[in-house]
Structure 1
Amino acid sequence: MAVIAGLVWWLVRHDGGPGDVAAPPSEQQQEEPDPLTSGEFHYQTAGGPLISDDCVANSYGKVVAWFENHPCKRVSRALYAVEHEGARALVSVVLVTMPSANEAQQLKLTTDTDGTGNINDLIRDETVTIPDAPNVAQGEYASKVEDTDVIIVEAAFFGDHDDADLLARIGSDALRLGPVLR
């Protein structure tokens, strides 16, 4: 009984009266910003994500042979659409997880080199069909390494739109979507 009385007394004394200041919500209670809409551009999912542990089957060109000698742990692929001031672009985001940070750096160097191939985007391997979809492999390319992860972005405009600076900004901004694919 004394415990209950003590608890009631504590609750009465700590009822959030005029002198009390509410504690800020914990980190877990705060909402995380939506990565698709929290950057310079707002993206809508157009396909995926698809996850596999077979990077050989999901790549093309010399990258196939590279993966045969350096198996990945996982590859996640997705497509996003973005509109900005009347321009529409399709963006492929790929997240490849390698066994080591060194292999991640090697993969980035390989895919950054022209003519070596890459990871298939979801249009290229016909997993997703989007009418009049541009060939993202012929558009903007961006990549970065985060520890054992390699994020690869390819982006191209729908139709005849041509703005290299805007497409470069979209490609750079889309790199932040890689962690969404974890």
Structure 2
Amino acid sequence: MPDRRGEPEEMTGAQPNAQRETTPLRRDNSRISPDRAPATPGSQEATRPAFAPPPLRDAPPLRDAPPLHDAPPPRVRQPTSPQAPVSQLRRVTPTGWLLRGVVLFVISVLSGVLWLMLKPADKEDAAPPDLPRYTFTPIRREEAFQGCQNVSTDSIKGFFAKQECEHLTRALYRTKLPDGTEVLTSLVTVLMPNAASAQQLNDLTTRDGTGNIRDLVDDERDGTENMPRLDDDAYASGGQDRLVVIGDSAYINKSTPKSDPALLDVTREALKLGWPQDQTP
């Protein structure tokens, strides 16, 4: 093909390669709003969040806004744990505690009263039912550590050979009658193992000719030299559960008649000193 410089080669079916004159594109932003318009639901822009423009730092605060303290504080409800016990959910008022205390006090008082009513009476530790009508002044008291058999006579001594006592006391008292007459009273207490043996001893001592438990005057203890002999002229005895009390009285400054009513009354009143004498150390 001939080379023609400066002239383009013509090809079959080809258009002339004429140079186009193009105008450069210019972006017109006058129609674009500052805020992005919300995208339509069907467009791809619907999933992108729209953010508000950041506030201006130099913008003055709004004067018409109400003060913060006028707005009520938000109520926050504390969740209740399902495992919380009922005792924590229900609080007892002071009145409720007072009523509970009163109920417990009444129950304790009633329990104490019932216990006192139903408990068995301890006769051994009980005091005499009443005090003697006479004032008995102790002169001498001693315990027979050697046992009852060694201070007894006749059938009573044989009784203690089979059934020895647990405790023995012997004492002397002085008292005055309303007319001023002085009386000497001997009081012997014998503590047996049980009430049955005490009753047997008391029955034996009330019989004539069965012997007796010697008193301190019979044993000629110190200080008894000038005291009258006690010859069972005003004798009396009694059983108090498993304790046997034996008494005898005589006038100090005059002769003692047999079974004198005044002396018998003194001896019977002296038997009320049985338990206190046995328990006195």
State the TM-score bracket (shorter-chain normalisation): 0.7 to 0.9
Equivalent in 139, 153, 165 of residue 233 of structure 2: 139
Give the corresponding residue for 2:215.
121
Give the corresponding residue for 1:75.
168
Give the corresponding residue for 1:48.
141
Give SS of 2:176's match: strand
State the TM-score, normalizing by the size of structure 1.
0.74
* Unmatched tracts of structure 1, length 5 or more: 1-34
Give the corresponding residue for 2:272.
176
Give the corresponding residue for 1:13.
none
- Higher strand proportion: 1
Q: Please show how residues 1-182 of structure 1 align to structure 2 within 5 Å.
A: 38-52=131-145, 54-84=147-177, 85-162=179-256, 164-182=260-278
Worse overlay, 119-128 or 167-176: 119-128
What percentage of residue pairs aligned between the two structures are identical?
31
State the TM-score, normalizing by the size of structure 2.
0.49
Alpha-carbon displacement from aligned partner over 1:140-174 (angstroms, at most 9, x marks no partner): 11111111100111111113255711101101100
Q: Distance in 2 between matches of 1:128 and 1:63?
A: 25
Q: Distance in 2 between matches of 1:128 and 1:59?
A: 20
Q: Residues 138, 76 of structure 1: CA spacing in aligned structure 2 closer, same or farther, 3 A cutoff? A: same
Displacement of 1:75: 0.7
Q: Distance in 2 between matches of 1:101 and 1:91?
A: 26
Q: Distance in 2 between matches of 1:170 and 1:101?
A: 26
Higher relative contact order (CA 8 A, sep 6+): 1
Residue type of the partner of 2:192?
Answer: M
**Higher-Rg member (1/2):** 2
Displacement of 1:67: 0.7
Displacement of 1:59: 1.3
Q: Distance in 1 between matches of 2:144 and 2:276?
A: 12
Give SS of 1:139's match: coil
Q: Residues 167, 138 of structure 1: CA spacing in aligned structure 2 closer, same or farther, 3 A cutoff? A: same
Displacement of 1:53: 5.6
Number of equivalenced pairs: 146
Q: In 1, are the aligned partners of 2:184 and 2:250 still within 8 Å (CA)?
A: yes
